[in-house]
Amino acid sequence: MTLKISVVGTGYLGATHAACMAELGFEVIGLDIDQAKIDSLALGELPFHEPGLPELLRKHVATGRLRFTTDYDQVADWADVHFVGVGTPQRADGHGADLRFVDAAVRELARRIRGEALIVGKSTVPVGTARRLTSLIEAEAQPDSRIMLAWNPEFLREGFAVADTMSPDRLVIGTQDTESVDILRKVYAKALAADTPLIVTDFETAELVKVAANAFLATKISFINSFAEVTETIGGDITTLADALGHDVRIGRKFLNAGVGFGGGCLPKDIRALQARVSELGLTHTMGFLAEVDEINLRRRERVVRLTHAMLNDDLVGKKIAVLGVTFKPDSDDVRDSPALDIAVRLYNAGAEVTVYDPKGNKNAAARFPRLDYAPGLAEAVGGADVVLLLTEWAEFRQLAPGDLDPLVASRRIIDGRNVLDRAVWEADGWEIIGMGQHYAPLDAQP
């Protein structure tokens, strides 16, 4: 008998997981408490940008293998495996993760399940959550039910969500029983290559793998950005340094791109939640370095603001600034904790006229900061700019040549916040161009 699957929470993670489970051949129901989201998904419309996902969604809404509901009774009655992929946002007080949605989802399921079922947590949670949820399940469960719990963290990246789900680097399952592992092996059978590592472990390790991975990635980015601060002061080339470091296979080149720093819905929130959790455990100093990682990261934004001031002789009032890219990374429409958007708003607050253009992010950014100007295309954004800021490395911007902008930008000033332009080519064309990690005499002390 084929397993029937529910996915509770149809945000980024849940919608991707539901569509991919249908693609793997299962019958799937996605559940969310947000009726508007469910209505749109049921019509095959994805409320966010993710390459390849709309096609999967439409395909399986059409085959009938993928349905959507807001009704817990329906899924609790029907599914054998319930994936929980609801959000764990930063708490309003800034300390730790808000687990309201995870608790509510597990409680609503546990109350209604009859017979046997497996609940699989996918959300990123503070260590200790799964063990606590076993007590919650016990307290809420019907006498005639048998509910198992497993923790199966999700490592997908925005922009690659489908590929990361359909062929993961590794699968981590935290559990207290072997039956859940057998069930999850069946669920993922077609997604696992012969050599995909399957790591079966306890709840705590499974929860920690996820936050440790994100803490490591964040640390790697801030590590190279801390060296960018050094080369900004004394000179040197941060990209060559990263390339040379990356040739050491123990280090690797990935996540060593200096720039405006990391943002998005995961890395910043997860390192803060991890610090809060270890403090609760009485280990405040153990993760003290993550506070530095966060600070180095936020200083990158400040750096771009200061560079802009310096390039415009400290007079931003009425100056036209074109911001290219506003999402936290390319191939996404996500502006959560986006360094680019933060920089744009700071420059606006300093009196500049800021015009933003992003291939996919204008709408989400405008919803948050309607006062900035949003241009429909690159030419409209940069026309007459006193300075152009490239802040998110969309392919469209990486490919820019000075000749593309020459007729539009008489000032010929550009800040490359992602180090993706060939500085020598732009300088040869008469541009003043500054990248990240670059010494800039008007701003930095002479060595």
Q: Which parts of this chain interact with ligand UDX (CB under 6 A)?
A: 155-158, 214, 217, 221, 255-257, 259, 261-264, 266-267, 328-329
Report the distance separating Cα 16 and Cα 23, nearest Å. Answer: 11
Report the distance separating Cα 21 and Cα 85, nearest Å. Answer: 13
Nearer to ligand UDX, 29 or 326 (CB): 326
Pick from 152, 304, 165, 166: nearest CA to 225: 304
Nearer to ligand UDX, 263 or 402 (CB): 263
Q: How far is CA 324 from the centre of its chain?
A: 19
Under a CB-based contact definition with an 8 Å cutoff, are residues 22 and 6 in contact? no
Q: How far is the CB of 253 from ligand UDX (least distance, A)?
A: 9
| Beta strands at 373-374 and 81-84: parallel, antiparallel or unpaired | unpaired
Nearer to ligand UDX, 85 or 261 (CB): 261
Q: How far is the CB of 110 from ligand UDX (least distance, A)?
A: 26
Nearer to ligand UDX, 59 or 299 (CB): 299
Nearer to ligand UDX, 87 or 261 (CB): 261
To the query of whether residue 20 is one of the catalytic residues in this protein, the response is no
Q: How far is the CB of 123 from ligand UDX (least distance, A)?
A: 11
Report the distance separating Cα 44 and Cα 67, nearest Å. Answer: 10
Helix (H, G, I), strand (E, B) or coil at 120: strand
DSSP state of 264: S
Q: Which neighbouring-strand residues pair with 388? A: 322, 414
Compute the residue count for the chain: 447
> How many other C-beta atoms are found inside a 10 Å radius of the C-beta of residue 370?
9
Helix (H, G, I), strand (E, B) or coil at 2: coil
| Beta strands at 145-151 and 171-175: parallel, antiparallel or unpaired | antiparallel
Q: How far is the CB of 267 from ligand UDX (least distance, A)?
A: 5
Kindly give, in sequence order, each residue whose CB lies less than 8 Å from that of residue 266, ignoring residues fewer than 6 positions away.
Answer: 124, 214
Catalytic residue among 53, 208, 266, 273: 266
Q: How far is the CB of 82 from ligand UDX (least distance, A)?
A: 21
Catalytic (active-site) positions = 266
